[in-house]
């Protein structure tokens, strides 16, 4: 769990312990008072018994049998009365000792304000942090919690608020490809910023699709970055997947076009089109991307972004989406993302499903979307 929240939970628990301490003290005083009252009641009962016995001694022998009977009756009554007194006393004490504390606005307000700042520091977008804080507050207000478990109650409330904000399901990628395959070769275009993990993710997906009996060809449409083609050749060889490449500096759209023609001719199932990384601010490179999309006419467009980009991720996605409509997102390097807030922001605000998370460099290091995974990687499971 990130440090900020950890500290806040600790502070919250301490504040509650103090609140409980004060209440415990008050309750202890009440308890002692109740006990005192109970003791004096018992003393009076004993005095009465003594009087009875003295009176009985003064009675005639003839009345002794009757007196004994009466004493027996009295004793039974007293035992019953004492038992009842015990029950009410015990239940009162029990209520006092339960230690439940109702969460008030006063308890929660200072915590929520600083939690909002922590969320923003952890890459949660401002508007998302605001919404989360409101949800956490309303989850906590009026709740009766055991003061000893204040930290757990707050943590649970944060977890619930986050889970409520995230979509429950995403697109089943393999099922989607199988569905699109009915209409011909499935063309999937990958785009995103420099070094985000596009090429590695394409290799991971080629492996996954192959495992499901789908044969792919990869289009090496990054003809720009040095060693980009060799990098793909290495993956393709390891996976036993075909690769269509051009020369460095060649038109990326024409490489994509050749790969599609190859897949059609060979009866392959899909074409995975790799593209060069580009920043969302570079107009001419974005224009080039538009051209690739115009030529390849992809059935599905995947944005590959790094979870570690944090707050800027949402803006990146919005800019790319203006150029070529994005159908799904893959967030990589979750294994290196200590903060985790970027994923939460994208999921709740982008309105585009996250298909997978990249969780390492191996071909199998791809994890299907699960909101529990996102929240656990932020809060710790
Ligand atoms: N830890 C980790 N590393 C990853 C993940 N995905 C990719 N990488 C690594 O990130 C680096 C860049 O990955 P690439 O696949 O070359 O990224 P790219 O987006 O194709 O890069 P450009 O084509 O240069 O824009 C490589 O060292 C990958 O091994 C992931 O999920 N976790
Ligand atoms: Mg690449």
Q: Which of 229, 280, 361, 367 to mutate to test the pocket of ligand 1 (most atoms within 8 A of CB)?
A: 361
Q: Which numbered ligand comes closest to the C-alpha of 193?
A: 1
Distance, CA of 260 to CA of 219 (rounded, Å):
8
pLDDT the model gives residue 73 = 73
Q: Which of 190, 197, 231, 357 to mutate to test the pocket of ligand 1 (most atoms within 8 A of CB)?
A: 197
pLDDT the model gives residue 3 = 57
Q: What residues in the chain have per-residue pLDDT under 70?
A: 1-8, 12, 16, 42, 62, 75-99, 381
Using CB atoms within 10 Å of the CB of residue 317, give its burial: 0 to 12 exposed, 13 to 18 middle, 19+ buried: buried
pLDDT the model gives residue 92 = 31
CB atoms inside a 10 Å sphere around CB 123: 27
Looking at ligand 1, which residue's alpha carbon is closest to its atom 21?
Answer: 195
pLDDT the model gives residue 80 = 52
Angle between helices 150-165 and 371-379 (to 10 degrees): 140
Distance, CA of 25 to CA of 151 (rounded, Å):
22
pLDDT digits (tens, 9 = 90+) for 63-122: 777 777 777 777 666 655 544 433 332 333 333 345 677 888 888 888 888 888 888 888
Q: Is 335 in the pocket of ligand 1 (CB under 6 A)?
A: yes
Q: For the chain, first and last CA: distance in Å?
A: 8
Residue 265 CA, ligand 2 centroid: distance in Å: 26
Distance, CA of 119 to CA of 340 (rounded, Å):
10
Q: Which of 191, 194, 332, 336 to mutate to test the pocket of ligand 1 (most atoms within 8 A of CB)?
A: 332
Look up the pTM and report it: 0.77
Distance, CA of 300 to CA of 176 (rounded, Å):
9
Instruction: Tell me the β-bridge partners of 358.
Output: 366
Structure tokens at 157: 């409330």
Distance, CA of 115 to CA of 359 (rounded, Å):
27
pLDDT the model gives residue 111 = 83
For strands 186-191 and 270-275, give the pairing: parallel
């Amino acid at each position: 769990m990130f440090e900020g929240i950890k500290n806040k939970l600790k502070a919250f628990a301490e504040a509650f312990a103090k609140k409980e301490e004060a209440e415990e003290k008050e309750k202890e005083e009440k308890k002692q008072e109740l006990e005192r009252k109970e003791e004096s009641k018992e003393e009076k009962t004993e005095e009465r018994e003594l009087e009875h016995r003295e009176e009985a001694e003064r009675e005639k022998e003839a009345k002794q049998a009757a007196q004994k009977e009466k004493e027996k009756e009295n004793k039974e009554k007293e035992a019953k009365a004492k038992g009842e007194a015990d029950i009410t006393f015990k239940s009162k004490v029990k209520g006092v000792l339960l230690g439940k504390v109702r969460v008030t606005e006063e308890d929660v307000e200072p915590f929520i304000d600083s939690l909002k700042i922590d969320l923003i520091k952890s890459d949660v977008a401002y508007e998302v942090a605001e919404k989360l804080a409101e949800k956490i507050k309303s989850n906590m207000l009026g709740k009766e919690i055991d003061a000893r478990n204040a930290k757990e109650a707050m943590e649970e409330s944060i977890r619930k608020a986050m889970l409520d904000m995230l979509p429950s399901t995403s697109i089943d990628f393999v099922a989607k490809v199988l569905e699109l395959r009915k209409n011909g070769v499935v063309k999937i275009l990958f785009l995103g910023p420099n070094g985000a993990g596009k090429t590695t993710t394409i290799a991971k997906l080629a492996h996954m699709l192959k495992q499901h009996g789908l044969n792919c060809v990869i289009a090496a449409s990054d003809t720009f970055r040095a060693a980009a083609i060799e990098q793909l050749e290495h993956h393709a060889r390891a996976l036993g997947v075909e690769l269509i490449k051009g020369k460095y500096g060649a038109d990326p759209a024409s490489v994509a076009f050749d790969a599609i023609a190859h897949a059609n001719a060979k009866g392959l199932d899909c074409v995975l089109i790799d593209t060069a990384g580009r920043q969302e601010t570079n107009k001419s490179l974005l224009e080039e991307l538009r051209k690739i999309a115009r030529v390849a006419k992809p059935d599905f467009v995947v944005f590959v972004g790094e979870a570690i980009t944090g707050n800027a991720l949402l803006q990146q996605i919005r800019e790319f989406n203006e150029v070529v409509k994005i159908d799904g997102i893959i967030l990589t390097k979750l294994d290196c993302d200590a903060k985790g807030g970027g994923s939460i922001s994208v999921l709740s605000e982008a309105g585009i499903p996250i298909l997978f998370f990249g969780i390492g460099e191996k071909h199998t290091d791809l994890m299907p979307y699960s909101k529990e995974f996102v929240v656990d990687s932020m809060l710790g499971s």
